[in-house]
Amino acid sequence: MQDSDLVLVVDDDPAMRDIVRGILELDGLRVIEAGNADEMYQQIEKHIVSLILLDIGLPGHDGLTIMREFRPKYNIPVVMLTGKGDVIDKIVGLELGADDYITKPFHGRELTARLKSVLRRTMVDERIVNIHNSEIPLISFDGWTLNLHKHTLHNPDGDNMKITGHEFAILNALINSAGRVLSRDQLLDHISQGGRSHSPFDRSLDVTIARIRKKLGDTPNDPKFIRTVRQLGYMFIADIKKVSS
């Protein structure tokens, strides 16, 4: 995490925003606020936002609708605030590109821990990039290009595909171990930088793999890139080429 980390809290309840602001600022994070989708986008245009804490229960333009419109355009990590019983909403939020969720009511320490975990794993993680390939920033596979320095993914037509910090970390880890199975534990370690709060059965990993496959046009039944190895983990199976420029 960096001193400049700025959290945008999006909630229609001013009292809740005040509570969250107090908790996060007490823990050294800077906070700005928005009460709805329009204000959220205005804040994004004015500030360099490190993370968005988005209430799923916003009236009118709810959190899931915002995520559906937001994720194709922005790479900013998002943590969703959900109600205690909203299991389906949590899953849908992850599938739409949220990086994590936290359930209300929450403990202040849990809130800051979850947000800081997302901030850590969306930073450039030099441990994920193979140190021996540090001078070779581009990885090519079947026309696709992964830029290890800029954290970007381009399709065979050259289009920049939006990719979250989670997705980049998992795809990079799989590519660095191409032809070798990575277990769920190993992959979860890559997205948590060793400070993992996820269990080996956390559904967020499956959701992340599914999102990567969808972007690559891959399918689990007839994979070209990522193969599921039952009871073991996942393996990258495409041929890769390192490109120096």
b (16+ CB within 10 A) / e for 100-115: bbbeeeeeeeebbebb
Q: Is the pLDDT confidence value at 80 over 60?
A: yes
Helical packing angle, 108-121 and 184-192, nearest 10°: 100
Q: 54 and 39 in contact (C-beta within 8 Å)?
A: no
User: Please, is 31 exposed, middle or buried when counting C-beta atoms within 10 Å of its C-beta (0-12, 13-18, 19+)?
Assistant: middle
Q: How confident is the model at residue 43 (pLDDT cuts 50, 70, 90)?
A: very high
Q: Give the DSSP H/E element, type plus range, for residue 140.
A: strand 138-141
Residues of the chain with CATH 3.40.50.2300: 6-121
What pLDDT does 84 receive?
66
Q: How confident is the model at residue 133 (pLDDT cuts 50, 70, 90)?
A: very low
Rounded distance between C-alpha atoms, residue 160 and residue 99, angstroms: 20
Report which of residues 203 and 30 the model is more confident about. Answer: 30
What pLDDT does 130 receive?
41
Q: Which CATH class is domain 131-243?
A: mainly alpha
Rounded distance between C-alpha atoms, residue 205 and residue 201, angstroms: 8
The mean predicted confidence, pLDDT, of the chain is 82
| For the ranges 52-56, 58-62, 128-132, the one whose mean pLDDT is highest | 52-56
Report which of residues 215 and 123 the model is more confident about. Answer: 215
**What are the contacts of 205-209 at 24+ separation with CB within 8 A?**
205/170, 207/91, 207/94, 207/95, 208/94, 208/166, 208/167, 208/170, 209/170, 209/234
What pLDDT does 54 receive?
95
Q: How confident is the model at residue 4 (pLDDT cuts 50, 70, 90)?
A: low
Residues of the chain with CATH 1.10.10.10: 131-243
Least confidently predicted of 17-31, 102-116, 129-143, 187-201: 187-201
Least confidently predicted of 71-80, 144-153, 158-167, 182-191: 182-191
Protein fold of 6-121: Rossmann fold (3.40.50)
Q: Is the pLDDT confidence value at 18 over 80?
A: yes
3-state helix, strand, coil in the chain (%, to 5): 40, 20, 40
Tokens at 17, concatenated: 């925003």
Q: Is the pLDDT confidence value at 132 over 50?
A: no
Rounded distance between C-alpha atoms, residue 54 and residue 33, angstroms: 10
Rounded distance between C-alpha atoms, residue 205 and residue 207, angstroms: 5
